[in-house]
Amino acid sequence: MQRTYKDELKFIERIDDHTLRIKKGFVPNMNVEGRVYANKTLEGLVYKELRTCSEKNGRGGFLPAVKQIANVASLPGIVGYSIGLPDIHSGYGFAIGNMAAFDISDPLSIVSPGGVGFDINCGIRLLRTNLTYKDIEPVKEQLAQKIYDHIPVGMGCKGMIPVNDKSLEEVLEMGMDWSIREGYSWAEDKEHCEEYGRMFTADSRLVSDKAKKRGLLQLGTLGSGNHYAEIQIVDEIYDEKAASQMGLDRLGQVCVMIHSGSRGLGH
């Protein structure tokens, strides 16, 4: 029998300002309890997922993150708690931001190469601009349309950057040096990228031909799911020193944030 949202809440309690406890019994066969590190603001997002699922009687969409955390708590060999970090949200199996440790001396313990799903090594980039909201406000509709025109989105979308087998291998091995050579970025951008935008141990031969074939037409695409390209505005500064170091110290400053993954290449 499907529990009501009110009944579900009986299994979750706040134990301090930053931690929620998920009690055993929230889902069957939990071996340990769950812990979610979330303040009151994040708590609201966690509960919103749970409420939506309860109202739909568990049908359709992902399980709420707290349910997924509880399911992980039922896996054999788990020790301590099934833990949800502050970025917690629904995933494929594990919740995104769900952590768990397993006793390697227990012969029943699991090893999972894809607990939260696939193509999970997404990247996020914030690009600051010298523009302000006043600069773009009159043309924001046109700007949004330009983004849609030039950044393919959606499942199975094809890219606008032409590559062949050889150039795709160069992309994999050269990283940002390839994009600089081809005119898609500036050399100084490397100063703000992990490993300066290139892993020198990268070997494209280790990527299967099947994966390369899937990714051949998807360079420069955004994909689907929770991937996005957004025009954002600095509307509040919490840490003035950090903001100044990143050049994000002006209210009303326009930034571009991109979140995407490796698409079919890394699926």
Write out pLDDT tens, residues 96-118: 899 999 999 999 999 887 787 76
CA distance 252 to 236: 9
Q: Would you say 173 is a known binding-site residue?
A: no
* DSSP structure string for 68-105: HHHHHTTSTTEEEEEEEEEEEE--SSSPEEEEEEE-TT
Query: Tokens for 170?
Result: 């160069």
Q: Would you say 230 is a known binding-site residue?
A: yes
Query: pTM surpassing 0.75?
Result: no
Instruction: Examine the pLDDT at 156 and tell me if it is beyond 80.
Output: no
Provide the pairing of β-strand 96-102 with 78-89: antiparallel
CA within 13 Å, CB half, 45: 12
pLDDT the model gives residue 58: 63
Instruction: Examine the pLDDT at 56 and tell me if it is beyond 90.
Output: no
pLDDT the model gives residue 39: 93
Q: Would you say 37 is a known binding-site residue?
A: no
| pLDDT band (50, 70, 90) for residue 145 | very high
Portion of the chain with pLDDT greater than 70, in percent: 97
Q: Would you say 259 is a known binding-site residue?
A: yes
Query: Tokens for 184?
Result: 């898609």
Query: Tokens for 20?
Result: 């929620």
Separation in Å, CA 231 to CA 171, 174, 254 = 27, 28, 7
Give the helix/strand (H/E) hosting 131: strand 123-132
CA distance 89 to 68: 9
Query: Tokens for 55?
Result: 């109202």
Query: Tokens for 219?
Result: 């360079």
Task: Kindly report, residue by residue over 9-46, the tens digit of the pLDDT.
Answer: 999 999 999 999 999 999 999 999 999 999 999 999 99
Q: Would you say 226 is a known binding-site residue?
A: yes
Domain ranges across the chain: 5-115, 118-155+219-262, 164-216
Q: Would you say 192 is a known binding-site residue?
A: no
Give the helix/strand (H/E) hosting 140: helix 140-150
Instruction: Examine the pLDDT at 89 and tell me if it is beyond 70.
Output: yes
pLDDT the model gives residue 158: 85
CA distance 130 to 252: 10
Query: Tokens for 10?
Result: 């009986």
**What's the average model confidence in pLDDT over 117-127?**
80
Q: Would you say 229 is a known binding-site residue?
A: yes
